């Protein structure tokens, strides 16, 4: 057994003082406020549960600081994404994902949902192991000390026009499996382990025709199902013209909206869409730093929450990996739209930060006996956090203020340093060769 002690910790009942944590076999065996430090290891800051990054595309990390020439749009950004994707194979993907997940660990993230559609070799040729790219992600997460939910993504069409779905273009061939049954067969070959859960994803209504949605739902079973939803107005407009319904209604009619589903972005919704998501208790995953980087818009977070849809957060394309920034944006964007402060309570913001259950890790995300022993220590003496009320630390902290991260009882980050070493160097070694290959 290992014991830790902190002056302040965010427990399910709220902020508590002088908290002792007893950990054995990766679980909290006791979480006791009002205790002396004794022989426990002191944690220097306020302790939060491990954070959950519920939407990631690991390979997009290579695009940070590379997509802003001439302003651009979502669609020109996508061209750069295709260029990077074409450079990757299982070995280079392992290096990039390992470094990206290590950056997440430095930011206090202990679980990640990887929306994985980079399946095959360029041109769509399967590797000898058809899931080699997914296996690279599995190994990367384990090496980086982050739990992985691999959301294997169905991607069948190159887009949607007023005349219907288009075939995959050459850059997209490696994303697809030919048809939905072939995708389901490959997805079913994936196996869970003690650090990996398997789920599914519908890339979007652009990429998955309506007749395939029910097959994806059936193949997913009782596992998590995620989907990009209404990120772009153009997607909504085309869906209405071709199918006669919004993307949300299309997913609902295909049986895809349940309490196990996460709708990613959920930006441009009608009131009926919001009601459907709320009635189904479908989680809405907001990725504010990506949504503003790509000029997507601001989604109706407060209205979704009021309707009954739980909220989660993701770093998506990793323009920033900082869930404190994401959760502040959840509140601040609401303030900009409503001209009111306090649109979410601190408790509501904390819940969005630790939505591990939407990633099939329901025993993570709380500092409580029997739960997975995840601890994130946020320094309270930095230039950003000094003077802050520990109860309001999410309003002042950044990822740079994460001092210690323990995942499943194991030390992953100590004194701001990852067990793998210099993460900046790891990222540079993984990313620079990709852009050299495009020069």
CA distances from 311 to 217, 236, 259, 281, 390 (A): 21, 22, 12, 10, 23
Report how far residue 54's alpha carbon sits from residue 284's, in angstroms, rounded to the nearest whole number.
10
C-beta of residue 100 within 8 angstroms of C-beta of residue 427? yes
**Which candidate in 116, 252, 265, 318 is catalytic?**
265
- From the number of C-beta atoms within 10 Å of its C-beta (0-12, 13-18, 19+), residue 209 rates as middle
Selected catalytic residue, list 316, 322, 374, 401: 316
How far, CA to CA in Å, does 213 sit from each of 38, 130, 134?
A: 57, 22, 22
- Distance of alpha carbon 312 from alpha carbon 53, whole angstroms: 8
Which residues neighbour 364 within 8 Å (Cβ) at sequence distance 6 or greater?
Answer: 49, 50, 52, 110, 111, 147, 354, 356, 371, 372, 374
For residue 21, which of 5, 36, 9 has the smallest C-alpha distance?
5
Closest CA to 144 of 70, 206, 196, 214: 196
Give me the DSSP letters along 225-251: EEEEES-SHHHHHHHHHHHSS-HHHHH
Pairing of strands 27-32, 410-414: unpaired
The residue assigned the tokens 């990039």 is 96
Say if CB 21 and CB 5 are below 8 A apart.
yes
Query: How far is Cα 216 from Cα 201, in angstroms, rounded to an integer?
Result: 8
Annotated active-site residue 316? The verdict is yes
Pure H helices in 221-322? 233-243, 247-253, 271-280, 288-293, 301-307
333 assigned to active site: no
Q: Under a CB-based contact definition with an 8 Å cutoff, are residues 299 and 273 in contact?
A: no
Rounded CA-CA distance 114/86 in Å is 19
Tokens at 425, concatenated: 């160097």
Catalytic residue numbers, as ranges: 265, 316
């Amino acid at each position: 057994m290992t014991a830790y002690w902190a002056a302040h910790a965010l427990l399910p009942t709220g902020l508590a003082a002088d908290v002792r944590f007893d950990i054995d076999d990766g679980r909290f065996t006791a979480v006791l406020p009002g205790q002396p430090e004794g022989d426990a290891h002191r944690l220097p800051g306020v302790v939060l549960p491990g954070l959950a990054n519920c939407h990631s595309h690991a390979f997009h990390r290579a695009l940070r600081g590379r997509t802003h020439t001439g302003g651009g749009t979502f669609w020109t950004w996508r061209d750069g994404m295709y260029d990077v994707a074409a450079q990757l194979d299982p070995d280079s993907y392992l290096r990039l994902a390992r470094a990206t997940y290590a950056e997440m660990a430095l930011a206090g993230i202990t679980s990640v949902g990887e929306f994985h559609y980079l399946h095959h070799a360029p041109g769509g040729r399967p590797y000898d192991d058809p899931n080699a790219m997914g296996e690279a992600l599995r190994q990367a997460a384990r090496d980086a000390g982050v739990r992985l939910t691999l959301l294997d993504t169905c991607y069948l069409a190159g887009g949607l026009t007023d005349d219907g779905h288009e075939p995959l273009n050459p850059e997209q061939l490696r994303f697809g499996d030919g048809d939905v049954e072939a995708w389901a067969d490959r997805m079913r070959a994936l196996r869970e382990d003690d650090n990996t859960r398997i789920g599914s994803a519908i890339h979007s209504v652009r990429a998955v025709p309506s007749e395939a949605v029910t097959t994806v739902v059936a193949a997913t079973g009782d596992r998590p199902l995620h989907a990009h939803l209404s990120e772009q107005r153009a997607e909504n407009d085309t869906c209405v013209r071709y199918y006669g319904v919004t993307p949300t209604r299309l997913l609902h009619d295909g049986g895809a909206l349940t309490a196990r589903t996460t709708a990613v972005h959920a930006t441009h919704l009608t009131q009926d869409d919001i009601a459907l998501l709320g009635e189904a208790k479908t989680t809405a995953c907001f990725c504010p730093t990506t949504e503003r980087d790509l000029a997507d818009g601001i989604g109706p977070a407060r209205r979704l929450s009021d309707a009954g849809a739980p909220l989660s957060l993701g770093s998506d394309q990793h323009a920033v990996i900082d869930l404190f920034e994401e959760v502040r944006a959840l509140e601040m964007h609401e303030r900009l739209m409503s001209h009111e402060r306090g649109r979410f309570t601190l408790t509501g913001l904390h819940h969005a930060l630790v939505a591990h259950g939407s990633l099939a890790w329901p025993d993570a995300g709380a500092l409580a006996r029997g739960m997975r022993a995840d601890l994130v220590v946020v320094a309270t003496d930095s230039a950003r956090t000094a003077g802050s009320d520990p109860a309001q630390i999410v309003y002042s902290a950044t990822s740079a203020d994460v001092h210690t991260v323990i995942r499943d009882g194991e030390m992953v980050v100590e004194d701001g340093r990852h067990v793998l070493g210099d993460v900046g160097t790891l990222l540079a070694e993984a990313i620079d060769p990709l852009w050299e290959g495009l020069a």
